[in-house]
Amino acid sequence: MDLQALKNKYDIIGNDPALNEALETAVKFAPTGLSVLIQGESGVGKENVARIIHQFSARRQGNFFVVNCGALPKELVNSELFGHVKGSFTGAVDNRKGYFEEADGGTLFLDEIAELPLESQALLLRVLQSGEFRKVGSNKVEHTDVRIVAATNVHLYEAVKRGKFREDLYFRLSAAQIRIPPLKDRKSDIYLLFRKFTSDFSEVNGMCKISLKPDAIRLLEQYRWPGNIRQLQGFTQSLTAQLSVKVTPTLQRIELSARELEPLMPREEGEPIPVLYEGPQPSGPAFNADERQAIFKAIFDLKQEVDALKARLDRRELPLPTQQEPLQEEAEWQGEEYQAASPIVHVQTHEEDHGEHTLSVRRTEEDLIRQALEKYHGNRKKAAEELGMSERTLYRKLPPEYRRK
């Protein structure tokens, strides 16, 4: 069967190279008997690819079961997959076969496999390795001959690194992988799918088809379609139902421009919600608790000083530096490398300015210097390095009690 005939049989629309590669790979894997892992976002058509693998395999005469692992109640996952015996738990009023027993000799498509609890993952791994399983509440070992095609819409190896998915099961499943591209990466296929969906819907309901002008096609392709093919199908059917009319001998198609389409395009409600990042961590040494506390304190102190300076500037109490009145902070290049980033804000003020904010800044500097000296038991060189200043600058700014030492 050539590729186009395969697409026609399974109602797959599109000519994207990545999609074609996924379909060709599925046909190659089908007769091997390997477990297959299909990766792709929700709504890209992973189940269709699983059916292709089943139909082109030696198991095509056997059962094909679809199990959405994310929809199974966690307390009943093992019972659903492996069955249970009467009385094994509340509600188990009779013996029951699980999917692995029912699918013996066929194919089991486990969608959203990343949602399986770790305990169930261990039992699944055992079935994959030996074909052995036990029903919930039973000590009898039973056997099954089932091919597993699994699918996930998450990065499975990242789940492994977070301890959410077993590494041994991942390697068992990932030997044969197929990736289905999202719709946003198949822009040339978007209008093909739109035409297919509006044509099918119109034919069933006796309505005119909807077609798009070039500017409207560009608008359709620019949207990112987070729900992929499933979202595009629902949008197209809704659009056709809203704008189309009954077919007549003189009217069989309605054409829309971008101006007419734009108000009806999907809208994503709300702003993105911040979530805890669980992906790869940056390389390099991590800060310990003391270092983090010191950083937070420096930031807090710096913010207080900046706020105080801004308030004084607003009241015009602090003269701004000009070319005629430069700041008199000493140059750090004299004998030492210049320190560009210092946790202390140095403020040059007029001699007669002894306001509350100036005293606050000086106290903050002195407190930080005291803490650094205490930390390094009076070692001025180390204290200066931590504060990001030269040893000479530290000496000039020493609190009174340290100048006598």
Domain ranges of the chain: 3-181, 184-264, 289-319+331-403
pLDDT in tens, 1-17: 689 999 999 999 999 99
Helix spans in 141-227 (H): 156-161, 167-173, 187-205, 214-222
pLDDT score at 75? 84
Mean pLDDT over all residues of the chain?
81
CA atoms within 13 A on the CB side of 74: 6
Chain centroid to Cα 267, Å, comes to 21
Strand partners, 63: none
Predicted pLDDT at 238? 95
Going 239 to 242 to 243 to 245, the CA torsion angle's sign is positive
The residues with which 212 forms a beta bridge, in sequence order, are 256
pLDDT band at residue 400 under the 50/70/90 scheme: confident
What architecture (CATH level 2) is domain 184-264?
A: Orthogonal Bundle (1.10)
- What whole-number distance in Å separates Cα of residue 332 and Cα of residue 111? 63
Q: What is the pLDDT of residue 190?
A: 97
Between residues 383 and 147, the one the model is more confident about: 147
List of residues 6+ apart from 65 with CB closer than 8 A: 99, 102, 103, 106, 107, 108, 109
Q: For 204-232, how does the pLDDT look when each residue is reduced to its tens digit (9 = 90+)?
A: 999 999 999 999 999 999 999 999 999 99
What distance in Å separates the CA atoms of residue 82 and residue 352, rounded to the nearest whole number?
85
Residue by residue, what is the 3-state secondary structure of 52-115? HHHHCCCCCCCCEEEEEHHHCCHHHHHHHHHCECCCCCCCCCCCECCHHHHCCCCEEEEECHHH
Sheet containing 107-111: which strands, arranged edge to edge?
64-68, 107-111, 147-152, 36-39, 177-179
Residue 125 pLDDT more than 70? yes
Residue 49: CB partners within 8 Å, gap ≥ 6?
Answer: 22, 23, 26, 38, 178, 180
3-class SS of residue 369: helix
Give the tens place of pLDDT for each residue, 60-70: 999 999 999 99
Mapping DSSP to helix (H, G, I), strand (E, B) and coil, where does residue 132 land? strand
Q: Best-predicted range by mean pLDDT among 88-97, 185-194, 268-277? A: 185-194
* pLDDT confidence tier of residue 270, bands split at 50, 70 and 90: very low
**pLDDT above 70: percentage of residues in the chain:** 76
Q: What is the DSSP letter of 136?
A: B
Amino acid 384: pLDDT: 79
CA atoms within 13 A on the CB side of 267: 6
| Highest mean pLDDT out of 94-98, 343-347, 383-387, 398-402 | 94-98
Does the domain at 3-181 match CATH 3.40.1190.20? Answer given as: no
- pLDDT (tens digit per residue) in 6-46: 999 999 999 999 999 999 999 999 999 899 999 999 999 99
Q: Is 70 exceeded by the pLDDT of residue 339?
A: no
pLDDT value of position 334:
36
Would the pLDDT of 343 be above 50? Answer: no
pLDDT at 300: 52
Q: What is the pTM of this model?
A: 0.64
* pLDDT band at 250; cut points 50, 70, 90: confident
What's the rounded Cα separation, in Å, for the pair 37 and 175? 8
DSSP 351: T
pLDDT at residue 95, rounded to an integer: 87
